[in-house]
Amino acid sequence: MPTAIAPSAIPPPPHAPSATVAERQLSAPTLGTVVDEHLRWIGRWHRAAFFWREARLPAEALAMPTAFVQWVREAKDAELSHQPAIDRLVGLHEQLHRLARLVLMRAAEGDPPTLDSYAAVAERFEEFMAQCRRIERAFGAAGSSIDPLTGLRNRTGLYEELEREMNRFRRTGRPFCIALCDLDRFKSVNDTYGHDAGDRVLVATAGAVNRGIRNFDEAFRLGGEEILILLKDASLTEGAGVLERLRADIAAQQVLIADGRSISVTASFGVAEADLTVHPEDLPSIADRALYEAKRAGRNRVVLAGPETGSPDRP
């Protein structure tokens, strides 16, 4: 998942005094700046492409936007440059400006844009702007407790929530459960149908989880295809009933992918019940062992942690 952009680390020009952190933060372009600059640029490009002879626009009016190049440097400094979403954005930017330059070169020779050449630029522009806005929303969500793809909570606040439930358990004597849900053979979905299909499966699974758990329960996306479900005020038997219905719901749903086909997936669950002798931070490890047993036993099943599952040693 993308993380927030770090303060600028672009080195100053040779012999220039070093900028302060505050100065670098103020000068660092955002994706909002990139979007605004490209909106101005596309207006200049339209005038140049269709009214070149009449307008005789000066060279600076045709200049390529610079904020995106600076923003990519920021992404590299923040170690975001190898994320697929960033790679796609860079690729769209290169395609957009390559196609746009080609149209202007032909217009300068007296060859006005064809419908196809104009549509190619317009489509890349729309894709680039849409991707900018998607990443900008993801960066905003990365600083919060919400996973931007699935809408589930992320790890932020997970252990505080477990500690809160443990304190309630100590007061009331009513236990709670946690479950680890892992999609079966999810890698094959990405390999066979592509990562867009994988994202659709994750979104559909998150929707099934939200519908299948009770209003006061919580679900967290831990990363990849793994989801942690906190079943409050529930014994192991009660939690197993909720999760068995959820397992069946996930297996029954059909996920529509981009090429019009529908695919289905299954999920395995490992469940652990809270114990006053077990530290709440150890519960995910116990549930993970039960999840491993579910995978080993053939997948698409709910396995409850028992005494043999044990608790990891703590220092």
Quick one: tokens of 267?
A: 């999920």
Parse the chain into domains and list their residue ranges: 21-143, 158-304
Q: Please give the Cα distance from 232 to 220 (Å, whole number).
A: 14
Q: Establish whether domains 21-143 and 158-304 are of one fold.
A: no
The confidence band for 215, taking pLDDT boundaries of 50, 70 and 90, is confident
High-pLDDT (> 70) share of the chain, %:
80
> Over 140-158, what HEC string results?
HHHCCCECCCCCCECCCCH
Task: Examine the pLDDT at 54 and tell me if it is beyond 70.
Answer: no
The confidence band for 22, taking pLDDT boundaries of 50, 70 and 90, is very low
This model's pTM is above 0.75: no
Cβ-Cβ contacts under 8 Å for 189 (sequence gap 6 or more): 183, 197, 198, 201, 263, 265
What's the DSSP call for residue 98?
A: H
Q: Which of 74, 165, 225, 293 is catalytic?
A: 225
Average pLDDT, the chain: 82
Q: Please give the Cα distance from 26 to 137 (Å, whole number).
A: 20
Let me know how long the chain is: 315
Q: Which residues of 82-99 are buried (b: 16+ CB within 10 A; e: fewer)?
A: ebeebeebbebbebbbeb
Q: Which of 138, 136, 290, 155 is nearest to 223 (CA)?
A: 155
* Fold exhibited by the domain 158-304: Alpha-Beta Plaits (3.30.70)
What's the DSSP call for residue 260?
A: S
Least confident of 1-10, 232-241, 276-285, 302-311: 1-10
Mean local confidence (pLDDT), 260-270: 96
The CATH homologous superfamily to which domain 21-143 belongs is Aspartate receptor, ligand-binding domain (1.20.120.30)
Tens-digit pLDDT profile for residues 132-185:
887 877 766 555 677 888 888 888 889 989 999 999 999 999 999 999 999 999
Cβ-Cβ contacts under 8 Å for 25 (sequence gap 6 or more): 7, 8
Residue 102 DSSP SS3 = helix
Residue 311 DSSP SS3 = coil
Tens-digit pLDDT profile for residues 63-105:
778 888 888 887 766 555 456 677 788 888 999 999 999 998 8
Angle between helix axes 31-55 and 115-142 (nearest 10 degrees) is: 160
Cβ-Cβ contacts under 8 Å for 271 (sequence gap 6 or more): 177, 178, 179, 236, 239, 240, 243, 287, 290, 302, 303, 304, 305
Q: Please give the Cα distance from 50 to 39 (Å, whole number).
A: 17
Q: Please give the Cα distance from 187 to 289 (Å, whole number).
A: 21
The confidence band for 239, taking pLDDT boundaries of 50, 70 and 90, is very high
How big is the CA angle at 190 (ends 209 and 71), to the nearest 5 degrees?
A: 90
Q: Which of 160, 281, 269 is nearest to 205 (CA)?
A: 269
Q: Which residues pair with 218 in a beta bridge?
A: 230
Query: Is 123 a residue of the active site?
Result: no
* CA-based end-to-end distance of the chain: 31
Residue 304 DSSP SS3 = strand
E strands, 60-216, are 177-183
Q: Which stretch of DSSP H or E encloses residue 91?
A: helix 84-108
